[in-house]
Amino acid sequence: MKMNNRIYNIAIVGFGGMGSYHCQLIEPVSQISVIGVYDTVEYRMELGKEAGYKTYANLDAVLTDDLVDIVLIATPNDVHKEIAIQALQAGKHVICEKPVTITSKDFNDIVKVANEEKRVFTVHQNRRWDEDFRTAKDIIDKKKFGELFHLESRVQGANGIPGDWRQLKDYGGGMLLDWGVHLLDQLLQITDSQIESVAANLSYILGTEVDDGFTSYITFKDGLTALIEVGTTNYVKLPRWYLKGTEGTAVIRDWDLSGEIITRNPDVAHIEPKPIQAGQGLTKTMAPPSEQSTLKFAIEKPDLDEQSFYENFVSVLEGKSEIAIKNDEVHRVLVLIETIFEAAETRSVIHRSI
C-alpha cells in the first residue's frame, strides 16, 4: 500500500514560551514541519531566526503564504478569536492554545467560520496526555476501588501568577482560565454524566485584578461529586488526585505518580475497629482499618499507546481519525468556566445542566 508522505507546513503565531515549546512537540512527527514564526516582540523573532525558521513581518504575511497549511496560535488569550477567524478565512487549518477564547460565544463564532470554510480547527488541550491524568482515569475506568463517587483534582504552588499578561483581566489572565481549563477538561473526560450544580470561590490573596486561584465544588446528576482546586500561594501542597470509590480510596500525590490504592479485602469478614485515643477522647469511627481487612496496591502507570496531539491532527487532515479534542468538549469546558465565575461572583450555588 502506498504511504502518504505529504508534509504539512505550520507557522507559529506567538513565539513565546508555549509557542517555542510546540517545536519540540512537532519535531517527532515526520509529516509536520515548522516553516516560520511571527511575534510582535522583536527578540522572539530573533530567537526564531536563530532556530532556523523563517520570520514574517506581520500576520498578513503569514496568512498570504501559500506554503503555510496550518497556523498555530500561541498568543495572549484576548486575540485568539481574531487571529483564528482570519486564518480560517485565509484557508488555513488552525490549532489554538488554551483557553481558546475567554467566552463560549467567541468560541462558537470561530467554529462557525471553521465549518463554513471547511477547515480543521482544534484546541491544544495538551494535559489530556499527562501521565497522572491517564493513570487516574485508568484506575477509575477499571474500577480498581469500586465505583467512583468523589474526586479531588488540584494543582498548587507558591510562586504566584507569572508577571506578564496573565495578571491582566483584559488579556484573559487568572488561574481559572490558565490551569482551571486543564483540570476541568480532564474532569469532563472522566464522566459522561451531566453537571447538576456548581459552587465556587475565587482567591485574590495576591492583590491582582485576576484570580490567583480557585476552589469549585461540582455535583453531577449521577451523584458524583468533584472538588477542583488551583492555588499559587500554597507552600505545602495537597495531593494531585484523591479518589474515593465504593470499595476503597486512591491517592496520586504528584506528577511523579507517587501514591497508593487501598481497598477492602473481600476475603476477610468485617473486623470491628479498636478504639483509638484521639485528642481528649476515644473514637472507633476514625480509627484506621485493620491490616487484615484491607489490601494495598502501588500506583501503576497504564500502558496506553495513543497518538500524540500532532499525530492525531495529521491523521484528521488525511481523513483517517476523529479529532482528539472535539469542539463540543471545548465548548462545554468554557460554559463550565463561565458558570464557576458566576457562582463565585454571586456567592451562590448555580443549578444548571451542563
DSSP characters for 128-144?
Answer: GG-HHHHHHHHHHHTTB
Q: What is the pLDDT of residue 24?
A: 94
> Do the beta carbons of residue 279 and residue 268 sit within 8 Å?
no
Say how far apart CA 142 and CA 105 lie, in whole Å. 37
Which secondary-structure segment (H or E) carries 64? none
Q: Retrieve residue 340's grid coordinates.
A: 464557576
Q: What is the pLDDT of residue 4?
A: 65
Task: With CA atoms as reference, report the closest residue to 161 among 202, 123, 195, 121.
Answer: 202
Query: Which residues have C-beta within 8 Å of that of residue 298, sequence separation ≥ 6?
Result: 260, 261
Q: How distant, in Å, are the alpha carbons of 151, 253, 340 from that of 240?
A: 11, 5, 20
Report H helices in 14-74: 17-26, 42-50, 59-63
Q: What is the pLDDT of residue 304?
A: 77
Other Cβ atoms within 10 Å of 44 Cβ, number: 19
Q: Retrieve residue 261's grid coordinates.
A: 490504592
> Do the beta carbons of residue 313 and residue 95 sit within 8 Å?
yes
Q: What is the pLDDT of residue 202?
A: 98
- Which string of DSSP letters, residue by residue, matches 143-190? TBTBSEEEEEEEEE-SS-S-SSGGG-GGGT-SHIIIIIHHHHHHHHHH
What is the location of CATH 3.40.50.720 in the chain? 8-124
> Do the beta carbons of residue 226 and residue 214 sit within 8 Å?
no
pLDDT in tens, 301-320: 988 778 999 999 999 999 99
Q: How distant, in Å, are the alpha carbons of 126, 255, 260, 298 from that of 301?
A: 18, 11, 12, 10
> Do the beta carbons of residue 314 and residue 79 sit within 8 Å?
no
Kindly indicate whether the domain formed by 128-258+299-305+335-351 is annotated with CATH number 3.30.360.10. yes
What is the location of CATH 3.30.360.10 in the chain? 128-258+299-305+335-351
pTM, to two decimals: 0.94
Q: What is the pLDDT of residue 1?
A: 38
Q: Retrieve residue 267's grid coordinates.
A: 476475603
CA 249 to chain centre: 24
Q: What is the pLDDT of residue 25?
A: 95
Give me the torsion for CA of 1, 8, 189, 24, rounded to 10°.
110
Task: With CA atoms as reference, report the closest residue to 80 among 100, 50, 64, 106.
Answer: 100
Report H helices in the chain: 17-26, 42-50, 59-63, 80-89, 104-117, 131-141, 175, 181-190, 309-317, 327-346
Q: What is the pLDDT of residue 72?
A: 98
* CATH for 8-124 (1.10.357.10, 3.40.50.720, 1.10.3720.10, 3.40.80.10): 3.40.50.720
- pLDDT under 50: residue ranges of the chain: 1-2
